[in-house]
């Protein structure tokens, strides 16, 4: 493998380019799916491949393959250089790359229990328990549970002299129940995940997880239609996290700034939220799902302050966008895998906790809505609009949590929402998931924050 890396860099250097790198990946994963308390599928995947990039005067050429022969790597390096040379004549601005300090490191993953050392029978039993525990009554129509583990080994070497290698190990356990009664039908879910070993799964009580999921699905069958219009909303950490991730996060990705596609372009130093709003993207957050040791360009993971007490502080960067905007590298150049390109991507994105207790926020809310868990969110870097779908919620009346309401859509202008934040809790949580750029290129991330009280438009149900 060493010889292939050296050869790739040599072929790139001969290709008349400004910069080049090779990324080698071996991705192993195991997934166990349990449906209606029966094994639905056990899947083991090994994907191994490489990606070669060439950069010339603002243009990138990529080539990748799964055949690790000298001939294949040579062909890929030559193709990447050829494409970059051709595209560099198409009128691109000649953006420079940030000065890259050569780095040589080999890092081991931070985990306590290597999932490879746990038998498939134990993992299957864990997922089976989550599925079985959901059978709490006749209204539970269907149960589902999933266990997943990912062990990915990376090596990145470039023409500047960087040669780093590391492993990312992630684990996940979760479930979903469908409840039905007459014509009414709804679902609920829960999961736990993170960057780390089997200890993440072991920390979960599978019986409790299953019962909670089923209880929420049943509660939704009798939940009321949520109110609609502009109202006081206490967003739970999941929905707070979606606000951080989908609107501010995506619009703070450096490539959206260099393209001037983001509503946050040229906004550093300006007020974007109330003083209670501080936000980070943090690739170093211990054990969170989006935590990375290096990004896919070989830059170490980084904690980046995006909003500081309501004032916009800065963007996330790849090697190229930090060079173009003359800003520090932040280790956010990420790719879904060896056959996908590098974009500027988030890691763990969250609002920092506040000083209020959750109970105090509820007590001080006369008429509002408390959200519970998210289903989806959508980015809008151009317009700065927020769209998130909550799984369910509860009415809050005169300082007390009231009846459950069905899933709803939360919308509005993100900066209007952030400027209206008047309370933020000490309680804080991150939730993992996978994030796409537009519609594709999914990478592991997490998002979260405290319970936050603000004004948001609510609709649906």
Partner 1 sequence: MTLLAFADDGVKKALAAGAQAAEAFAMTYRTKSVYIEQDVPKVAEERTEAGIGLKVAVGKRVAFTSASLEGQKDVRNATATAMKAVKMVPEDPDFPGFTSFRVMGKVEKTHDSKTAETPVEELVEMALELTAAGKVRKDVTIPKGIFRVQDYELRVANSEGAEGSHRGTLVFLYFTAKSGTKTRAGEGIIKSLGVSLSQQDFQSIGKRLGTRSVENLEASALREKISGTVVIDPLDLGEMLIQTIGSAVNAEDVRRKRSPWQDKKGQKVASEGLNIADMPRLPAGLSSCAVDDEGNPTADRPLVTDGILRDFVYDHYNAALLGGKGGNAFRRAVATIEGAYARPAQCSISNLVIEPGMQSLDEIIGSVQKGVYVEKLAAPEVNQFSGAFALEVRNAAIIEKGELKDRVKYALLVGNMFDGLKNVAATGRELRPSHGFLTATGCCYLPPMAFNGFELVGQK
The reply to whether 36 sits near partner 1 by the rule CB under 8 A is: yes
Measured CA to CA, the distance from residue 441 to residue 84 in angstroms comes to: 21
User: Which tokens go with 285?
Assistant: 């957050």
By CB under 8 A, which span of 37-45, 292-300, 360-368, 393-401 interacts with partner 1? Answer: 37-45
CA dist 268 and 247 (Å) reads 16
Give dist(CA 342, CA 340) in Å, integer: 7
Number of Cβ within 10 Å of residue 400's Cβ equals 11
Closer residue to partner 1 (CB): 191 or 285: 191
115-154 residues in contact with partner 1 (CB under 8 A) are 119-121, 124, 128, 141-142, 144
| Geometric angle at alpha carbon 116, from 157 and 431, rounded to 5° | 75
Q: What are phi and psi of 401, to 5 degrees?
A: -80, 125
Helices (H) and strands (E) in the chain, counts: 11, 20
Question: Which of residues 10, 14, 43, 203 is near partner 1 by CB under 8 A?
Answer: 43
Q: Which is nearer to partner 1, 4 or 103 (by Cβ)?
A: 4
Indicate whether 63 belongs to the interface with partner 1 (CB under 8 A). yes
> Which residue matches tokens 């239609």?
225
398-457: contacts with partner 1 (CB under 8 A) = 406-409, 411-413, 436, 438-440, 442, 457
> Which candidate, 448, 233, 251, places its Cα nearest to that of 352?
448
CA proximity to 410, closest of 440, 359, 452, 360: 452
Least distance in angstroms from the C-beta of 168 to partner 1: 18
Single residue of 1, 2, 3, 90 touching partner 1 by CB under 8 A: 90
Q: What is the contact mask toward partner 1 in residues 299 to 318, using x (rule: CB under 8 A)?
A: --------------------
Query: Could you say which DSSP state residue 342 is in?
Result: -
Q: Does 41 bind partner 1 (CB under 8 A)?
A: yes
Task: Determine which residue in the list 16, 68, 70, 359 makes contact with partner 1, applying CB under 8 A.
Answer: 68
Least distance in angstroms from the C-beta of 376 to partner 1: 5
Q: Work out which of 91, 117, 326, 398 binds partner 1, going by CB under 8 A.
A: 91
Question: Least distance in Å: CB of 128 to partner 1?
Answer: 8
Using CB under 8 A, which of 1, 3, 71, 260 touches partner 1? 260
Closer to partner 1 by CB, 17 or 276: give it: 17
Number of CB atoms found within 10 A of residue 46's CB: 9
Asked whether 246 and 388 are in contact (CB, 8 A), the reply is yes
Residue 1 or 91 having the CB closest to partner 1: 91
Q: Is 62 in the site for partner 1 (CB under 8 A)?
A: yes
User: Minimum Å distance from CB 306 to partner 1?
Assistant: 20
Closer residue to partner 1 (CB): 2 or 90: 90
DSSP-based three-state secondary structure for 223: coil
178 binds partner 1 (CB under 8 A): yes
- Contact 81/16 with Cβ under 8 angstroms? yes
Residues shown for the chain:
461
Task: Kindly tell me which residue out of 341, 357, 419, 429 binds partner 1, with binding defined by CB under 8 A.
Answer: 341
Q: Does 296 bind partner 1 (CB under 8 A)?
A: no
**Intra-chain end-to-end CA distance of the chain, in Å:** 55
Contact 295, 319 (CB under 8 A): no
**Residue 233 or residue 424: which is nearer to partner 1 going by CB?**
233
Residue 39: C-alpha distances to residues 105, 118, 133, 140, 427 (Å): 41, 18, 15, 18, 37
Alpha helices in 325-432 (DSSP H): 358-363, 414-419
Q: Is 366 in the site for partner 1 (CB under 8 A)?
A: no
- The answer to whether residue 86 forms part of the interface with partner 1 (CB under 8 A) is yes
In the bound state with partner 1, the residue whose beta carbon lies nearer, of 313 and 378, is 378
- Quote the least distance from Cβ 384 to partner 1, whole Å: 9
Q: Is 255 in the site for partner 1 (CB under 8 A)?
A: yes
- Alpha-carbon span 354 to 356, nearest angstrom: 6
Considering the rule CB under 8 A, would residue 67 count as an interface residue with partner 1?
yes
Q: Using CA atoms, how far apart are residues 427 and 420, in angstroms rounded to an integer?
A: 20
Distance between CA atoms of residues 344 and 303, nearest Å: 15
Q: To the nearest whole angstrom, how small is the minimum distance from the Cβ of residue 427 to partner 1?
A: 28
Q: Rounded to 5 degrees, what angle do the CA atoms 306, 168, 249 make?
A: 20
Total interface residues for partner 1 by CB under 8 A: 86
DSSP of 114-142: -GGGS-HHHHHHHHHHHHHTT--STTEEE
Q: How far is the CB of 360 from partner 1 (least distance, A)?
A: 30
Give, as ranges, the residues between 232 and 251 that touch partner 1 (CB under 8 A): none
* 259 touching partner 1, by CB under 8 A: yes
| Shortest Å, Cβ 138 to partner 1 | 11
Range in contact with partner 1 (rule: CB under 8 A) among 52-60, 193-201, 284-292, 296-304: 52-60
Question: Binding string to partner 1 for residues 370 to 409, with x set by CB under 8 A, is what?
Answer: -----xx-x-x-xx-x-x-x----------------xxxx
203 binds partner 1 (CB under 8 A): no
The H or E element that residue 416 is part of is helix 414-419
Q: Which two tokens stand for residue 140?
A: 């539970």
């Amino acid at each position: 493998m060493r010889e292939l890396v050296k050869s790739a860099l040599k072929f790139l250097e001969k290709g008349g380019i400004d910069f080049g790198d090779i990324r080698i990946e071996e991705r192993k994963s195991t997934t166990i799916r349990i449906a209606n308390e029966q094994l639905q599928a056990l899947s083991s995947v090994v994907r191994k491949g490489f990606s070669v990039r060439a950069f010339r005067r603002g243009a990138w050429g990529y080539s990748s393959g799964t055949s690790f022969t000298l001939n294949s790597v040579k062909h890929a390096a030559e193709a990447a250089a050829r494409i970059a040379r051709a595209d560099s004549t198409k009128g691109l601005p000649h953006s420079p790359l940030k000065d890259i300090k050569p780095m040589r490191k080999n890092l081991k993953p931070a985990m306590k229990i290597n999932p490879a050392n746990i038998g498939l029978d134990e993992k299957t039993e864990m997922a089976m328990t989550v599925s079985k525990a959901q059978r709490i009554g006749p209204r539970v129509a269907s149960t589902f549970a999933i266990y997943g583990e990912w062990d990915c080994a990376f090596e990145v070497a470039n023409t500047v002299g960087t040669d780093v290698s590391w492993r990312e190990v992630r684990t996940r356990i979760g479930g979903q129940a469908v409840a039905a009664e007459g014509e009414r039908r709804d679902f609920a879910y829960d999961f736990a995940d993170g960057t780390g070993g089997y200890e993440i799964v072991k920390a979960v009580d599978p019986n409790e997880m299953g019962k909670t999921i089923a209880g929420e699905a049943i509660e939704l069958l009798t939940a009321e239609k949520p109110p609609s219009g502009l109202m006081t909303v206490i967003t739970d950490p999941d929905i707070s996290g979606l606000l951080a991730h989908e609107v501010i996060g995506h619009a703070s990705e450096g490539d959206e700034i260099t393209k001037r596609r983001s509503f946050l372009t040229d906004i550093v130093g300006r007020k974007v939220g109330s003083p209670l709003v501080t936000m980070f993207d943090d690739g170093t957050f211990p054990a969170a799902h989006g935590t990375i040791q290096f990004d896919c360009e070989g830059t170490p993971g980084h904690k980046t302050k995006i909003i500081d007490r309501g004032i916009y502080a800065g963007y996330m960067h790849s090697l190229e966008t930090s060079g173009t905007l003359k800003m520090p590298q932040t280790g956010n150049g990420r790719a879904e895998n060896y056959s996908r390109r590098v974009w500027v991507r988030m890691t763990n994105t969250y609002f920092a906790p506040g000083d209020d207790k959750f109970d105090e926020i509820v007590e001080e809310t006369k008429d509002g809505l408390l959200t519970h868990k998210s289903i989806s969110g959508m980015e809008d870097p151009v317009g700065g609009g927020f769209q998130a779908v909550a799984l369910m919620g509860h009415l809050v009346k005169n300082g007390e949590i009231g009846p459950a309401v069905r899933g709803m859509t939360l919308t509005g202008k993100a900066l209007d929402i952030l400027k209206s934040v008047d309370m933020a809790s000490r309680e804080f949580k991150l939730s993992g998931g996978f994030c796409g750029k537009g519609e594709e290129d999914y990478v592991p991330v997490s998002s979260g924050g405290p319970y936050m009280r603000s004004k948001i438009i609510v609709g649906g149900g």
